[in-house]
Amino acid sequence: MIEQKDELLVNHLAKQGVDDKMVMGHPAGLFVLFFTEMWERFSYYGMRALLTLFLVSSLADGGWEWTRADALKLYGWYTGLVYLTPIIGGIIADRLMGFRKAIFVGALIMTLGHASMAMEGFSQSFFFLGLALMIIGNGLFKPNISSMVGQIYPDNSAKKDAGYTIFYMGINSGAFLGMLLCGYIGEKEGWHLGFGLAGIFMFFGMLQFYFARKYFGRIGEAPKEAGTVEQTTTEDDADAIPEHVRRDRLIVIGVLILFSTFFWLAFEQAGGSMNIFAADYTQRVLTGNAAITFKWVDAALTLFPLIILTSVLFGLSKKLLSTYPKTIICTFISMIIIWVLGVWKIQREFTALETEVAASWFQILNSFFIITLATVFSKIWEKVWNPSGPIKFALALLLLGTGFAALAYGCKDIPQGAQTASVSMVWLILAYFFHTTGELCLSPVGLSYVSKLSPKKLLGLIFGLWFASSAIANFAGSMLGSTIDYISTQYSMAHFFGIFAVIPGAVAVILILLSPKLKKMMHGIN
């Protein structure tokens, strides 16, 4: 049975003009996209970890001394537009540029955006220009690289869900390293250095993808360049699916997108109100055994992903070094720089007189838990329990609400209206753990379902709509997040985080009730 499924994959790759070189049982091209997306996420999350902290920090510390409400609103506008522009980027790729050109152009524009932000010390205009360029570039990049992952596999390949899970680990590896290093350097050494570091790795990600572009054969080409073979295949696939089946599946996608919006509305508090909570309400100065323990834990967290990623890169280099040496060289240079920065950070912490946990450090927990738990969840779906997509989404919402409930409980002793506090970091760590388990039930599952349920001619557009749910969520979530001072003053901090516990829980119940109908409307897609 396994051989037959592998044969389906090999035949599919041959039709697309792609060789069948495999890494860890998956096409080598998956790992080219893995590292491209990893460096893009490094740059995005590295900058995101600093954004609100930079805006609210004092002028003496190099920040702009904005109010929390204003900083969270700008954060919401930025992250919202980042996830809204993929609709336009998906349409452009579907009709004009193709996925490959859109990814490269988007990466180039984002690189220029990071460079502009690094010059914020010269003029505030550079900061806002950088945000605008990253919004535009992400619109071209984000939906189309996810679409390319889907096109590497045939829809009936048993490896497709696993491929998206591996890709998702790449996303979170980049996010982890970006928040860890850009956040640390930005807070400890200078905001502009953190912003600039994010751009360096976006540049390397762009280069390594560009040099490997020909590996993908016809996958991701512009419509006019793809040739009659791909067009005929697409038309045949469309004709083979009855109209009512396509309609029902599109409805299911729409419902999943709607409910995912409620998830991201609460989840994206990580870069906003939870970041503020980490900076002002969490005990971050450690002494004695606690300080020593943190230093060793932080060192392990820094080195663990670097070792794993380096081993993956060696596996990829064995397959592609002879044919695409520039791609491998660019990625190796990137990893060497990361290793140097990681070792420097560890050495600096062990020799520091005071141990203060950076506020941005807590955001790495989400990515760390994903890297360590993704395989566990994959095995659960494969061997223990594999419910339908809607049930997985409902479970995600329940776990997310549980995380905020834990955080709300940890805030119960904060006085009404307090501007600072010293809550144990255990509650924030626990919240990130539950949020991550929820994310693993929703995000990679959602990417896979969108790929499987979407008509191929509309794949880029529908991936854009999937990411647009995050745009709406970020707009709404930032507006709610900006009320942190008002609600904590009028009621309490526990009330504020309690809101984000109740909303996902209520929505999850509704989705559970709808799940039998949605499962029928997927017409055999599981």
One DSSP character per residue, 15-62 reads: HTT----EETTEEHHHHHHHHHHHHHHHHHHHHHHHHHHHHHS-GGGT
Domains and CATH numbers, the chain: 27-227+286-356 (1.20.1250.20), 241-284+359-525 (1.20.1250.20)
- Give the 3-state secondary structure of residue 423: strand
At position 63, the amino acid (one-letter code) is G
Q: Which of 438, 271, 321 is nearest to 32 (CA)?
A: 321
489-to-69, 77, 113, 386, 418 alpha-carbon distances in Å: 14, 25, 37, 44, 7
List per-residue pLDDT tens for the chain, 526 residues long. 343 446 888 888 888 888 888 888 888 888 999 999 999 989 888 888 888 889 989 888 888 999 988 998 898 889 888 888 888 888 898 888 889 999 999 999 999 998 998 888 788 899 999 999 999 999 899 888 888 888 888 876 767 777 877 887 888 888 889 888 988 998 888 888 888 888 888 899 899 999 998 888 888 888 766 554 444 444 445 447 888 898 999 999 999 999 999 999 999 898 789 988 998 999 999 999 999 999 999 999 889 889 988 998 998 898 888 888 999 999 999 999 999 999 999 999 999 888 989 888 898 898 888 878 877 887 787 788 888 889 999 999 999 999 999 999 999 999 998 988 999 999 999 999 999 999 999 988 887 788 888 887 787 778 778 878 888 888 888 889 999 999 999 999 999 999 999 999 999 999 999 999 999 999 887 7
- The answer to whether residues 436 and 369 touch, using CB atoms and an 8 Å cutoff, is yes
- Give the 3-state secondary structure of residue 282: strand
What residues have CB less than 8 Å from 56, skipping those under 6 apart?
Answer: 63, 65, 66, 67, 68, 71, 276, 279
Strands 285-286 and 26-27: unpaired
What residues have CB less than 8 Å from 381, skipping those under 6 apart?
Answer: 161
- The answer to whether residues 148 and 33 touch, using CB atoms and an 8 Å cutoff, is yes
Angle between helices 425-453 and 124-152 (to 10 degrees): 50
Q: Which of 75, 308, 333 is nearest to 203 (CA)?
A: 333
Q: Which of 50, 206, 210, 62 is nearest to 131 (CA)?
A: 50
Which pLDDT value is given to residue 232? 42
What residues have CB less than 8 Å from 231, skipping those under 6 apart?
Answer: 223
E strand or H helix that includes residue 261? helix 243-267
60-to-48, 50, 65, 66, 118 alpha-carbon distances in Å: 21, 17, 9, 13, 18
One DSSP character per residue, 312-358 reads: HHHHHHHHHTTT-HHHHHHHHHHHHHHHHHHHHHHHHHHH-SSEE--
The 10s digit of each residue's pLDDT in 224-266 is: 665 544 444 444 454 478 888 989 999 999 999 999 999 999 9
Q: Which of 477, 469, 480, 461 is nearest to 443 (CA)?
A: 469
Residue 523 phi/psi, 5° resolution?
A: 50, 55
- The answer to whether residues 337 and 200 touch, using CB atoms and an 8 Å cutoff, is yes
Which pLDDT value is given to residue 393? 95
d(CA 194, CA 208): 22
